[in-house]
Chain A
Amino acid sequence: MLKKIIPFISIIFVSIYLPTYIYTKNVDKVLFFDVLPVLIVFCAISALVFTIFLLITKNVVKSSLSAIIFIIIITNYKLLEGAFNFLLPMLNYWHVLPIFLVVSLHIVYFIYIKTTNKVCEITINIICITIGSLVIFNFILAAPSIIKTVRLAITEADDKMYVDSQKANDSPNIYYLLLDEYSSFDVIEQYYNYDNTEFANWLEAQGFFVSYNSSNESSDTTTVVTNYVNLEYLVNDETSSSDKSYLRKNSKLVELMSLNGYKIIGLGDSMFIGIDSMTGGNGGGANTIEGLDFQQVVLNYSVIYPFIINESDSSLILDSFDYFNYKNNYADEQTFTVMYLVTPHEPFIFDENGGSVLPRNYNNWDDKEFYLGQYIYITKLIKQAVSKIIENDPNSIIVLQSDHSARFVNGIVANDRQKILNAVYYPSKDISKINAKSGVNTWRLVINQLFDMNLNIVEVDE
């Protein structure tokens, strides 16, 4: 029986060796749930390769040995290529991969024609014992860390329950989604001939009040966002960058929320307003210094590595939106979650379906498909995030804003650049006064409702 299953076990050991090695070396940083999809994909590919050989040869032992050779190349390609390039540095991917394939086919041919089943069985047994021992040994070495991580997770869950039971304030959680360069509904229609009414209708159906004609005092992000988070027109385009930076990082909005007992959570590029980001490399966990997550690291070793573009912005954007998919992130305590993302602002890294864009078009404003594609995809991500927030935290407040519209599209006039996305979800209150108000005044009206204050509508100081 054991003899029959050893070829299959060997294939599994070889296919999972690299992901499990990386996991066990980083067990305190990586969740097993992040590893699982990679293991499943690698095992599925291995099964496919094995099946192909089996269909051709009808020999289980020789097929498994042949499959193992190809699996080693598929999963560890970059390491093998690195060794190859060390000797022959002038060769590129398009040389090395065909060489590996041709050499592997020769070895496979040798296995089928010149090798007996007995020799193949012995070889597979050696591979199984060697690789299997390494996998098990790695897990044994990592066991204390795995146990510690599980215990920590249980303790955190207990702490969370304690916090929930101690909750003293019923103020709603607030989610502030700020998208850089997300065009207003009329700008996207006028300049890109794209009707985004379906999104506006969807927001209204969720309970948002959408202000269709909101506009700001400037189209400079540093000016607009500094004023947003200070709830008044403190700066203009003439103010120095360092003064604006200081004011953003010591903002009245964050101070007000903190004074009222709100816990501040940052996502994306929230460091721009002085808030550490859960997804921006300041507490996000399992990312490498280059911003790669576990799956990217493993795939970067595989044969598909040249097709992976390591654009750090894309993972930041996706990770930030992904934050809203996890139920654990909807604590009942008072939270003010600020997600600031430099998108659909250039670089245009997503097409409308979330596919990648050639780097040469990252800044292509001349061809409208690139900004528009990213705009459409980001709209989809906003819808998903908003759905999740409302599903998990229906009594919360959601402020959805941009700082300006597309600025570099051909022919856009200054006033149109300053138009924004401005929509607020405040289920228990009438927030229709935000209609036609700027971003700053929208926030003042939300604050008035939230803290029963009486902030006036402010005008830009001419």
Chain B
Amino acid sequence: MKIERIKLKAYAVFMLLFLLYLLFADRIILSKINNYTSSLYTIDFDEIKSNTDAYYSFEKLEILDGMFNQVYFVGWAYCETTMDNSNKKVYLVFKGDGIDYISDYSLAINRRPDVQLAFPDKKVFNARNHFTGEFSTIIMKNGSYDLYLYVEENEFNYGLVNTGKKFVKDYRGFRKYEPQIIENKPDIQICDSMKYSIDSNKSEGEFLAISGWAFIEGKESKNQYIYLEIKDVDGNKFTMETNQYQRLDVGTYFADDRYNTSGFSTNIPLNLISSDYTIRVIVENDGVFASE
């Protein structure tokens, strides 16, 4: 009887300790997180100031997962400046629905002399354009996020740019948002001043990967959304969202920086496409849907 009572007490203590562990597990684990990875910090997106255009490219943006749902990234970024940038900083900013996050500023900045060479017409101050780092997404709340890049060359030139990349955090973890099929757009206006190109159109696994650029002449491409309407010979159609990104070569070619954000890409499931189909590029700008 006495042994039974001791067993019962031991069990009660064990369960109590277990419940206490569950209660404080986050504090225990997250207090150690900085030993293993960089963290994100909450920020009010509207407080981030910008006075110069930022130019960038991500060469790698890889979700490593792991215990802390880490993300690793490499790229280059700059704002035009003619002043010393020895304290240059690059931040990743995630704009969410109601809560925004910013990465640690201590991203490694290394030399990328080729960036200077690639943009002879821009005021790229020096070769310090390469950035890289990693961070944990563990503290992010579930929701969808737009990724911005904040480049601070110095106290005089700093810029915030929407990378067009979207992410989702949910019970499955942190992942890239894939463009979805959406309702067909009504009232599409025929627009002669729309320019576009489909640069690549090839099947990759179970998807048709399409990329290119599009803009409406005279309009800022930062404010636009690009969709693709796929139509078969019987007239059946559906509309796909796209990921949008910087295409500095387009802005350079048309000698107008307003078209720098005209790039798009999307993956269309091959099982939705018949053998004969047409692709129509639709640009939404200022609430108007336009196509050629």
* A311 interface hit (Cβ, 8 Å): yes
Give chain A nearest CB distance to B179 CB in angstroms: 16
- Which of A222, A237, A308, A309 has the most chain B CB atoms inside 10 A of its CB? A309
Report how far A336 CA is from B183 CA in the complex, Å.
Answer: 51
Per-residue CB proximity of B101-125 to A under 8 Å, as 1/0?
0000000101101100110000000
Number of B residues, CB within 8 Å of A: 34
With contact pairs A89-B171, A93-B67 given, residues A98 and B22 touching in the complex (Cβ less than 8 Å): yes
Interface residue ranges of B126-172 to A (CB < 8 Å): 132-134, 138, 142, 170-172
* A384 interface hit (Cβ, 8 Å): no
- Which of A86, A346, A363 has the most chain B CB atoms inside 10 A of its CB? A363
Does B64 contact A98, Cβ atoms closer than 8 Å?
no
Does B205 contact A289, Cβ atoms closer than 8 Å?
yes
Does A237 contact B117, Cβ atoms closer than 8 Å?
yes
Contact for B26 among A92, A289, A358, CB less than 8 A = A92
Contact for B18 among A98, A237, A308, A312, CB less than 8 A = A98
Give chain A nearest CB distance to B248 CB in angstroms: 12
* A408 interface hit (Cβ, 8 Å): yes
Give chain B nearest CB distance to A290 CB in angstroms: 9
Report how far A364 CA is from B108 CA in the complex, Å.
Answer: 8
* B66 interface hit (Cβ, 8 Å): yes
* A238 interface hit (Cβ, 8 Å): yes
The residue on B at minimum CB distance from A240 is B118
Chain A residues within an 8 Å CB radius of B111: 407-408
* A102 interface hit (Cβ, 8 Å): yes
Chain B residues within an 8 Å CB radius of A312: 62
Chain B residues within an 8 Å CB radius of A363: 74, 108, 110, 132-133
Give chain A nearest CB distance to B39 CB in angstroms: 11
* B16 interface hit (Cβ, 8 Å): no
Does B62 contact A92, Cβ atoms closer than 8 Å?
no
Interface of B is mostly: mixed
Does B22 contact A95, Cβ atoms closer than 8 Å?
yes
Per-residue CB proximity of A402-414 to B under 8 Å, as 1/0?
0000011000000
Does A82 contact B171, Cβ atoms closer than 8 Å?
yes
* B65 interface hit (Cβ, 8 Å): yes
Interface residue ranges of A383-410 to B (CB < 8 Å): 407-408
* A117 interface hit (Cβ, 8 Å): no
Does A360 contact B36, Cβ atoms closer than 8 Å?
yes
Does B66 contact A308, Cβ atoms closer than 8 Å?
yes
Report how far A306 CA is from B173 CA in the complex, Å.
Answer: 12
Does B37 contact A89, Cβ atoms closer than 8 Å?
no
Give chain B nearest CB distance to A187 CB in angstroms: 17
Does A309 contact B133, Cβ atoms closer than 8 Å?
no
Report how far A76 CA is from B153 CA in the complex, Å.
Answer: 48
Chain B residues within an 8 Å CB radius of A364: 108
The residue on B at minimum CB distance from A84 is B171
Chain B residues within an 8 Å CB radius of A305: 65
* A261 interface hit (Cβ, 8 Å): no
* B246 interface hit (Cβ, 8 Å): no
With contact pairs A86-B171, A360-B38 given, residues A94 and B29 touching in the complex (Cβ less than 8 Å): yes
Does B67 contact A408, Cβ atoms closer than 8 Å?
no
Give chain B nearest CB distance to A366 CB in angstroms: 9
Interface residue ranges of B215-236 to A (CB < 8 Å): none
Report how far A95 CA is from B64 CA in the complex, Å.
Answer: 21
Does B65 contact A309, Cβ atoms closer than 8 Å?
yes
* A155 interface hit (Cβ, 8 Å): no
Does A309 contact B18, Cβ atoms closer than 8 Å?
no
Does A241 contact B171, Cβ atoms closer than 8 Å?
no
Per-residue CB proximity of A298-309 to B under 8 Å, as 1/0?
000000011111
The residue on A at minimum CB distance from B107 is A363
Report how far A358 CA is from B171 CA in the complex, Å.
Answer: 24
Report how far A310 CA is from B66 CA in the complex, Å.
Answer: 8
Report how far A309 CA is from B68 CA in the complex, Å.
Answer: 10
With contact pairs A95-B22, A308-B65, A312-B62 given, residues A220 and B138 touching in the complex (Cβ less than 8 Å): no
Interface residue ranges of A266-324 to B (CB < 8 Å): 289, 305-312
* A99 interface hit (Cβ, 8 Å): yes
Chain A residues within an 8 Å CB radius of B64: 309-311, 359
Give chain A nearest CB distance to B81 CB in angstroms: 22
* B191 interface hit (Cβ, 8 Å): no
* B85 interface hit (Cβ, 8 Å): no
Chain A residues within an 8 Å CB radius of B36: 358, 360
The residue on A at minimum CB distance from B38 is A360
Does A309 contact B134, Cβ atoms closer than 8 Å?
no
Contact for B29 among A92, A237, A310, CB less than 8 A = A92
Interface residue ranges of B166-217 to A (CB < 8 Å): 170-172, 205
Interface residue ranges of A187-237 to B (CB < 8 Å): 220, 222, 237
* A85 interface hit (Cβ, 8 Å): yes
Give chain A nearest CB distance to B200 CB in angstroms: 15
With contact pairs A359-B134, A363-B132 given, residues A306 and B21 touching in the complex (Cβ less than 8 Å): no
Does A309 contact B66, Cβ atoms closer than 8 Å?
yes
* B25 interface hit (Cβ, 8 Å): yes
Chain B residues within an 8 Å CB radius of A222: 114
* A377 interface hit (Cβ, 8 Å): no
* A21 interface hit (Cβ, 8 Å): no
Report how far A240 CA is from B118 CA in the complex, Å.
Answer: 6
* A362 interface hit (Cβ, 8 Å): yes
Chain A residues within an 8 Å CB radius of B38: 360
Chain A residues within an 8 Å CB radius of B26: 92
* A7 interface hit (Cβ, 8 Å): no
* A373 interface hit (Cβ, 8 Å): no
The residue on B at minimum CB distance from A93 is B67
* B70 interface hit (Cβ, 8 Å): yes
Interface residue ranges of B61-101 to A (CB < 8 Å): 62-67, 70, 72, 74
* A19 interface hit (Cβ, 8 Å): no
Does B72 contact A311, Cβ atoms closer than 8 Å?
yes
Does A241 contact B132, Cβ atoms closer than 8 Å?
no
Chain A residues within an 8 Å CB radius of B170: 89
Does B21 contact A98, Cβ atoms closer than 8 Å?
yes
Q: Which 8 A-B pairs have the closest CB atoms?
A: A85-B171, A306-B67, A359-B134, A89-B171, A363-B132, A363-B108, A309-B66, A309-B64
Complex A-B: 16 CB contacts under 8 Å: A85-B171, A85-B172, A93-B67, A95-B25, A98-B22, A220-B114, A238-B117, A240-B118, A241-B114, A307-B67, A309-B66, A310-B66, A347-B132, A360-B134, A362-B132, A364-B108
Chain A residues within CB distance 8 Å of chain B? 82, 85-86, 89, 92-95, 98-99, 102, 220, 222, 237-238, 240-241, 289, 305-312, 346-347, 358-360, 362-365, 407-408
